[in-house]
Amino acid sequence: MTKADTLAPQIEDLGHRLAEAREMIRGVFIGQERVVDLVLITLLCGGHGVLVGLPGVGKTRLVEALSTVMGLRGNRVQFTPDLMPADILGSEVLETASDGARQFRFIEGPVFCQLLMADEINRASPRTQSALLQAMQEKSVTVAGRDRPLGVPFHVLATQNPIEQEGTYPLPEAQLDRFLLEIQVPYPDRATERDILLATTGAKEAEVSAVFDPDQLLAAQALIRRMPVGEAIVELILDLVRAFRPEDPTAPERVRENMRWGPGPRAAQALMLAVRARALLRGAYAPSAQDVADLAPAVLNHRMALAFGARARGITQLELIGDVTQMILDKKAAS
């Protein structure tokens, strides 16, 4: 009996619940199936995501629906330039009791939750961004010399507005590596926008309810790490990640000419986890090469940087990722 056979009942049960959760979220966040799948993948992998989209495309609505459906205790922080680390992490205050005794009491910040929406994270100062990113990495915060664990599970979904740059502090490229996926949220097409108009401007809007609870989500995260991955998929992930490192001798010439630096080992780890979650979402027991290709842009785009000359020539990272990924797939298929 293979590993997939022993996990099959658990995978099937989780797949049914995920299908229910996905359809419920899609009823509120209409017409953006890929975006919904990517945020679910982020949570199933135990990671954090950054949603990049123009104003009014429903990013906040998506995260609120996700919090309810996954049964997570959620908070939202609107980032501003004057936001301080203590506004997110919490602080100690000196209180005087009725008997006159004084003592410090810790007041938890909004980061003490299970799903935090960091709205317009690039509007906060680097100091505040660093406090949040450290909490994301360590799953705990240190205030007044005491280590305080965060919620279990703990996830951050941050949003960025790609058009307003005045008064913003773009996240350092190296810090973006803390996010498992970069999720592009585009404008809806005409038919989808019509459905949104009808669904959101009537007397009653669609509602969502809990499908998961925190313990079930933790169990799902553990199950995904046990899902089998074929040797061919492991090699494909390695080939793909290493192909975007301009100093690697196996990198394509187009990458060496146009990339300033490429993704590190964390990209391969993220892709390895994400393809398992995507396989589960589509009802499969193991990931395929197409799962790798479909998730490559979300995993790699924020973990690499184009050279100045490439940007001047109008080359985009997403275009380069798509071309190189297809080249590697074609080469694998021909061999």
pLDDT digits (tens, 9 = 90+) for 228-286: 999 999 999 999 999 999 999 889 999 999 999 999 999 999 999 999 999 999 888 89
pLDDT of residue 198: 87
Query: Token digits for 135?
Result: 């909490």
Mean predicted confidence (pLDDT) in 315-327: 94
Give the CATH number, domain containing residue 309.
Answer: 1.10.8.80
Residue 99 has pLDDT above 80, yes or no: no
User: How far apart (Å, rounded) are the C-alpha atoms in residues 158 and 160?
Assistant: 7
Tell me which of 226, 260, 284 is where a domain ends: 226
Q: What percent of the chain has pLDDT over 70?
A: 97
pLDDT of residue 3: 59
Residue 1 has pLDDT above 60, yes or no: no
Residues 152 and 291 in one domain: no
pTM confidence score: 0.92
pLDDT digits (tens, 9 = 90+) for 30-50: 888 999 999 999 999 999 999
Q: Are 323 and 265 within 8 A, CB to CB?
A: no
By C-alpha distance, which of 7, 29, 22, 47 is closest to 274?
47
pLDDT of residue 2: 56
pLDDT of residue 31: 85
pLDDT of residue 7: 81
Residues 193 and 266 in one domain: no
pLDDT digits (tens, 9 = 90+) for 119-178: 999 888 889 998 898 899 899 998 877 889 998 999 999 998 776 666 678 888 778 889
Q: Are 288 and 328 within 8 A, CB to CB?
A: no
More confident site: 96 or 70: 70
3-state DSSP helix/strand/coil percent for the chain, to nearest 5? 50, 15, 35
Tell the burial category of 14 from Cβ atoms under 10 Å away from its Cβ (0-12, 13-18, 19+): buried
Residues 184 and 142 in one domain: yes
Residues 58 and 143 in one domain: yes
Tell the burial category of 115 from Cβ atoms under 10 Å away from its Cβ (0-12, 13-18, 19+): buried
Residues 211 and 276 in one domain: no
Tell me which of 226, 256, 291 is where a domain ends: 226
Residues 181 and 77 in one domain: yes
Q: How far is CA 23 from the centre of its chain?
A: 19
Kindly report the average pLDDT of the chain as a whole number. 90
Residue 95 has pLDDT above 60, yes or no: yes
pLDDT of residue 196: 87
Residues 319 and 202 in one domain: no
Query: Token digits for 292?
Result: 């790798």
Residues 58 and 174 in one domain: yes
Residues 200 and 267 in one domain: no
Q: b/e string for 244-270 if b means 16 or more Cβ within 10 A?
A: bbbeeeebbeebeebbebbbeeebbbb
Quickly state the pLDDT bin for 98 (edges 50, 70, 90). Answer: confident
CA count, 13 A, side-chain hemisphere, 62: 29
Four-point Cα dihedral 50, 55, 57, 63, nearest 10: 40
Residues 233 and 85 in one domain: no
Q: How many domains is the chain partitioned into structurally?
A: 2
DSSP one-letter code for 123: G
Instruction: Verify cis geometry, omega within 30 degrees of 0, for the bond prior to 153.
Output: yes
Q: State which residues form the domain around 113.
A: 1-226
Tell me which of 163, 194, 226 is where a domain ends: 226
By C-alpha distance, which of 303, 318, 234 is closest to 273?
234
